[in-house]
Amino acid sequence: MEEWEDVDIEAVSDGLDASPTELHAFFEVTSDHLSEVRDRHTMMLVSSGELPEKHMETIAPERRLDWVLEELNGVRHNDGLSIPLQGVSSDNVNLKTGEIAGSKYLKLTIGKIERRLPLPKDALDVQAKFDGGILRLNW
């Protein structure tokens, strides 16, 4: 009687039978230069947006305030503004006023986030209240 034993066959791939998805994933994992390219691209996008934004801030600082409020989901009022900060404790919110190039600014720091809001010329004295998760500023 004859006895037979199985012989394992190792599949060798020359890359031609791999799917495009597998090849793309392999390329992304093994190529170190892509992270550098992505970082430089992001840096270029950020710096290219700075020039128009700084120009607009110079000629129309009140628009800068509107941009920051839109970013923070805030609302502008006749005598101030309000910014929703649900989930943030009042200990993590810091406000400072200052002057930059002759214009009055409010520096709002929430944890690691910092924004500078240009204040209107008629904003003489800024009062702040943290009420029910909403930061209310009046001047």
Position 54 in a domain = yes
* Of 61, 127, 72, residue with least CA distance to 100: 61
Q: Do 67 and 135 have their domain in common? A: yes
Position 101 in a domain = yes
Position 10 in a domain = no
What's the Rg (C-alpha) of the chain? Answer: 28
Q: Do 54 and 77 have their domain in common? A: no
Mean pLDDT over 72-99 rounds to 89
Q: Do 36 and 101 have their domain in common? A: no
Q: Do 52 and 72 have their domain in common? A: no
Quick: pLDDT tens for 87-135. Answer: 888 888 999 988 887 778 889 998 888 888 888 877 778 899 988 889 9
Helix, strand or coil, per DSSP, at residue 28? helix
Q: Do 54 and 70 have their domain in common? A: no
Amino acid at 111: G
Range of the domain at 42: 17-59
* Of 24, 117, 23, 10, residue with least CA distance to 67: 117
Q: Do 78 and 126 have their domain in common? A: yes
Position 2 in a domain = no
Rounded to two decimals, the pTM is: 0.55
Position 1 in a domain = no
Q: Do 80 and 120 have their domain in common? A: yes
Helix, strand or coil, per DSSP, at residue 114? strand
Q: Do 67 and 55 have their domain in common? A: no
pLDDT at 15: 61
pLDDT at 84: 92
At 67, which CATH number? 2.60.40.790
The DSSP bridge partners found for residue 115 are 108
**Sign of the C-alpha dihedral computed for residues 46, 51, 53 and 57 taken in this order:** positive
Quick: pLDDT tens for 31-63. Answer: 777 778 888 888 887 777 666 666 766 676 667
pLDDT at 104: 85
Q: Do 72 and 108 have their domain in common? A: yes
The DSSP bridge partners found for residue 100 are 103
Burial label, 37 (beta-carbon count in 10 A; 0-12, 13-18, 19+) = exposed
Domain tally, the chain: 2
